[in-house]
Copies of this chain bind each other. A is one copy, B any other.
Amino acid sequence: MALIKASIVGATGYTGAILTDLLSGHPDVRMHALTSKAYIGRKVSGVFPGLRVDGTYTEYSAGAVSGSDVAFVCYPHGEAHGVVAELVDKGCRVVDLSADYRLKDPAAYQSWYGFVHPHFDLLQEAVFGLPERYRAEIAKARIVANPGCYPTAMLLSVLPAAAEIDSSVIVDAKSGVSGAGRTPSQKTHFCEVNGDFRAYSEVGHRHTAEMVQELGLAAGKALGVSFTPHLLPVDRGIFSTAYFRLAKGLMGTDRLLARYREFYADEAFVEVCDHVPGLGEVTGTNYCRLTVREDAAAGLVKVFAVIDNLVKGASGQAVQNMNCMFGRPEDAGLRRKV
């Protein structure tokens, strides 16, 4: 097969850096453009000394990037939709790592993100890029909306049980600091984070919208989601704890585990395990590892899931989506640590 010509738009954030690492080591990929706003003309290895990758950052232009087979857009929410539309228009397939094409309801962009989405048609066309659920659609998509990091962990935690959840899910999730991005701020200062821990966006974090949308589609009915993110003093990783009740009542931890194992039996990157997994088991990898428990006394199911927020929660999943889009094995280029 021919090599896939790939570009990264906005390559100098943390997700851009991991994507650069993954794509430069991917056996089926040829890097095309790496664009940046702040580092034009700088070498990759000069900006990220830990990346042993050739290449120089260039300024974005639709012309240059659209020569690629696929472009990964790593712009902030609200700044990506125009570039995505432009590139698709020029015949380039896109994996968008922002939230700009994840929600189906255009009105949701006003209420959750505060802008009017100008591309209703593309919003309907875009496919939510969770391969474990939409791989057939992803294979044909022009626009893949790569899921948020928290929704990835949460959805993989609840999909096997979605149809039987009684009314709502509580998601208490904890993320490493890289989830806040590479731009310095008071809240990511080492001295503010080290030895500390707290919840943030404690009611109504934007990722709730994706969770509600996709859980509802999977369950076939609207279910509530109460999502609370917390900031962990670690670089990378999300630990998600989901709580819900089953409409039918108790079924026992063993049967729950069997159900989850069966559901994910053919998945390359979802590992159902007996123990409660720690972040370290997936750091640097594209795996989601999870387990499930019944708390019989409380009548609750608990699901514990870990991912690396920058890999399965962002850039690794983006590559997995690219593999789907171009008919490659889903794990191509994704079996090494980054």
Q: Which residues of A contact B (CB under 8 A)?
A: 14, 49-50, 168, 170, 172, 174, 177-178, 182, 184-186, 188-200, 202-204, 208, 224-226, 228, 230, 232-237, 239, 241, 243, 273, 275-284, 293-295, 297-300, 302, 304, 306, 336-338
Contacts and interface: CB of A to CB of B under 8 A. Distances in A.
A194 B297 CA distance: 33
Given A279-B197, A295-B226, A170 B243 contact: yes
Contacts of A273: 49
Nearest to A235: B191
Contact of A184 (B50, B188, B230, B298): B188
Contacts of A232: 197, 232-233
A188 to B, nearest CB: 5
A298 B226 contact: yes
A185 B293 CA distance: 26
Contact of A170 (B170, B277, B338): B170
A168 B241 CA distance: 18
Nearest to A241: B172
B295 A203 contact: yes
Contact of A190 (B188, B224, B281): B188
Given A49-B273, A278-B196, A224 B298 contact: yes
Contact of A199 (B50, B191, B226, B304): B304
A264 to B, nearest CB: 15
A279 B198 CA distance: 7
A204 B304 contact: no
A105 to B, nearest CB: 15
A174 B229 CA distance: 13
A283 to B, nearest CB: 7
A299 B168 CA distance: 10
B235 A233 contact: no
Contacts of A228: 241, 302
B235 A190 contact: yes
